């Protein structure tokens, strides 16, 4: 089948100074993911590599560029999900891993467990040969200029064999309390993928997302609605039940992609049928 990929660089009040850098970053990420898919690569490889590009970009809240917590340190969370097996790997509160999504993939494929946190996750990273870095080296000039909100990056893809995958990575909310973990590393909250229905990656403030398990909810809606509509339905449930706002990207088993957000802006890029599009979507003031 025709492969497809959609990525996001966060749904929040993206300040003007981040709009162009964000668009550049998500375009590079989606192009890399699409290249992998078009050369016969797996959806898992495509979402991992797309997220690595966004983690390495200083303008996005994940990996290098993560928003610092109240102590001025980064604490990062990430998850990757395999829609074929429903297996996932996730890490939370890691401070010294430059690409948490790589560690999440290793957790999924090289351990019998699904989730590791903090120092234990970092020990595991070392045992897998990942370099640990100075936490201060992960703070970018862009991140220091942000005053509120949370970013997050994510990707979902379907490959030519019809396998789907989802990945999400974040530095979380700016100046969050030390030890606070949001939705991103939690299965069904920050991401979900099931080959039988579709895949999702969520962004926004983690607490409301966790309460409605936004990614799982949106994939459930995908069983009866096209991606954009399913995304809107899930966000509407979250807004009505919790007052929380966010964004979500979706792909279904036919390879249709879609997204929606209830925040002011959302950075999104997608590639399908040979075409690539990257944008910062903006809602009119009455709608956010
Ligand atoms: N969605 C990212 C977070 O709340 O940590």
Q: What is the mean pLDDT of each run of 10 residues along the chain (288 residues)?
A: 98 97 98 98 98 98 96 96 98 98 98 98 97 94 92 97 98 96 98 98 98 98 97 98 98 98 98 97 93
Catalytic residue status for 152? yes
Could you tell me the distance, in angstroms and rounded to a whole number, from the CA of residue 1 to the centre of ligand 1? 33
Q: Is 261 in the pocket of ligand 1 (CB under 6 A)?
A: no
**The pair of three-digit structure tokens given for residue 232, joined into one six-digit string:** 């809107």
Does the C-beta of 75 come closer than 6 Å to ligand 1?
no
Pocket test for ligand 1, best of 54, 146, 172 (most atoms within 8 A of CB): 172
Burial 67-90 (b: 16+ CB within 10 A, else e): bbbeeeebbbbbbbbbbbeeebbb
Nearest 5°: CA angle at 265, between 263 and 268?
A: 115
Q: Which residues contact 234 (CB under 8 A, 6 or more apart)?
A: 212, 214, 217, 218, 221, 248
Query: Is residue 139 within 8 Å of 59, Cβ to Cβ?
Result: no
Ligand 1 mutation pick, 61, 173, 180, 200, max ligand atoms within 8 A of CB: 173
User: Ligand 1 atom 2: the closest Cα is on which residue?
Assistant: 172
| pLDDT number for residue 261 | 98
Does the beta carbon of 102 sit less than 6 angstroms from any atom of ligand 1? no
Q: For residue 61, which atom of ligand 1 is closest to its CA?
A: 2
Domain ranges of the chain: 4-282
Which pLDDT score is estimated for 105? 98
- Alpha carbon distances (Å) from 239 to 9, 147, 209, 221, 284: 21, 23, 10, 16, 17
Pairing of strands 115-117, 88-94: parallel
Catalytic hit among 152, 168, 170, 203: 152
Quick one: pLDDT at residue 148?
87
**Span 4-282: which CATH code?**
3.60.20.30
Mutate to test the pocket of ligand 1, among 11, 204, 211, 246 (most ligand atoms within 8 A of CB): 204
Q: Quick one: which atom of ligand 1 is closest to the CA of 246?
A: 1
């Amino acid at each position: 089948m025709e492969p497809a990929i959609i990525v996001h660089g966060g749904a929040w009040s993206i300040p003007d100074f981040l709009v162009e850098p964000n668009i550049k970053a998500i375009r590079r990420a989606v192009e890399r993911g699409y290249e992998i898919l078009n050369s016969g690569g797996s959806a898992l490889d495509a979402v991992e590599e797309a997220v690595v590009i966004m983690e390495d970009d200083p303008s996005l809240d994940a990996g290098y560029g993560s928003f610092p917590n109240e102590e001025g340190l980064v604490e990062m969370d990430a998850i990757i999900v395999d829609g074929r097996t429903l297996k996932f790997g996730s890490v939370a509160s890691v401070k010294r891993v430059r690409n948490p999504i790589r560690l999440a993939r290793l957790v999924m494929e090289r351990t019998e467990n699904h989730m590791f946190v903090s120092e234990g996750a970092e020990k595991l990273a070392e045992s897998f040969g990942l370099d640990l870095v100075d936490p201060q080296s992960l703070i970018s000039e862009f991140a220091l200029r942000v005053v509120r909100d949370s970013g997050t990056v994510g990707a979902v893809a379907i490959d030519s064999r019809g396998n789907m995958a989802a990945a999400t990575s974040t530095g979380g909310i700016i100046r969050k309390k030390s030890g606070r973990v949001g939705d991103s590393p939690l299965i069904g909250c920050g991401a979900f993928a099931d080959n039988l229905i579709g895949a999702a990656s969520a962004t926004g403030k983690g607490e409301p997302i966790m309460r409605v398990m936004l990614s799982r909810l949106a994939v459930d809606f995908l069983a009866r609605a096209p991606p954009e509509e399913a995304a809107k339905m899930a966000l509407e449930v979250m807004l009505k039940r919790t007052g929380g706002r966010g964004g979500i990207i979706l792909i279904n088993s036919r390879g249709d992609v879609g997204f929606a957000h209830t925040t002011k802006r959302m950075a999104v890029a997608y590639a399908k049928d040979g075409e690539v599009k990257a944008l910062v979507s903006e809602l009119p003031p009455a709608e956010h």
